[in-house]
Structure 1
Amino acid sequence: MPTYNKLVRDRIPDIIQKSGKLYNTRILSHSEYTMALKRKLQEEVNEYLQAGHLKDQGEELADILEVVYALSEAQQMSVDELDAIRRTKAQQRGRFESRVLLIDVQE
């Protein structure tokens, strides 16, 4: 039996059960959940970086976004609040649309 010890989406146990397999789970404390989400974010970013096809990249970006939403909610920040912060930063500092690479800054 493979050991995973990683955070999974809520419906994964149901999917495993419907396949006729047995599994073990436990519910994480809030602090464990936050740490598991951070590890999951790293996992999803790594999967995105390794994805070759555009379809796979889109799937991984969606997974990253899902983890980011869960992290914001775990920190008592709504997705709307998070997006408001994103919009404010975009207005104040810009976005990444112009593809600017900063080489250096002379002091």
Structure 2
Amino acid sequence: MGKLIRDRVPDIVRELGHHIEVRELAADEYAAALRDKLLEEAREAHDAAGRAALLEELADLVEVALALARHEGITEAEILNQRAAKNRSHGAFDDRLFSTSYRS
């Protein structure tokens, strides 16, 4: 079973004297692989121990999110605008609020 890898990884692996096989994904496969990678990176960020590890995993998470956005025709500016709009309408997470119960 394979997984989505960064563009330079095959070169790095080969430079280390190892063998790696890769193929280019079709558009639908790529979209699915990006979504899977997004979950993988979110799990790794969740499990990161320490600031340096968290920083690295958050950077990976953002890179995958932006790659998925580009693939879907969404610009970084659109994301930032949507983020600002959501912050205006629903707030951010600055107050550290945690719901302990909710009834409708």
TM-score normalised according to structure 1 size: 0.89
| Aligned residue type for 2:54 | Q
| Aligned residue type for 1:52 | A
1:40 aligns with 2:34: no
Shift of 1:22: 2.0
Match of 2:3 in 1: 6
Match of 1:26 in 2: 23
Q: Please list every run of 5 or more consecutive structure 1 residues that lacks an aligned counterpart in the other structure.
A: none
Shift of 1:31: 0.7
Return the alpha-carbon distance in structure 2 between the equivalents of residues 41 and 91 of structure 1. 26
Secondary structure (helix, strand or coil) at the match of 1:101 reads coil
Match of 2:75 in 1: 78
1:64 aligns with 2:64: no
Match of 2:101 in 1: 104
Alignment size in residue pairs:
104
Return the alpha-carbon distance in structure 2 between the equivalents of residues 19 and 105 of structure 1. 54
RMSD of aligned C-alpha atoms? 1.3
Return the alpha-carbon distance in structure 2 between the equivalents of residues 100 and 50 of structure 1. 22
Q: Percent identity of the aligned residues?
A: 35
Secondary structure (helix, strand or coil) at the match of 2:88 reads helix
Return the alpha-carbon distance in structure 2 between the equivalents of residues 22 and 102 of structure 1. 50
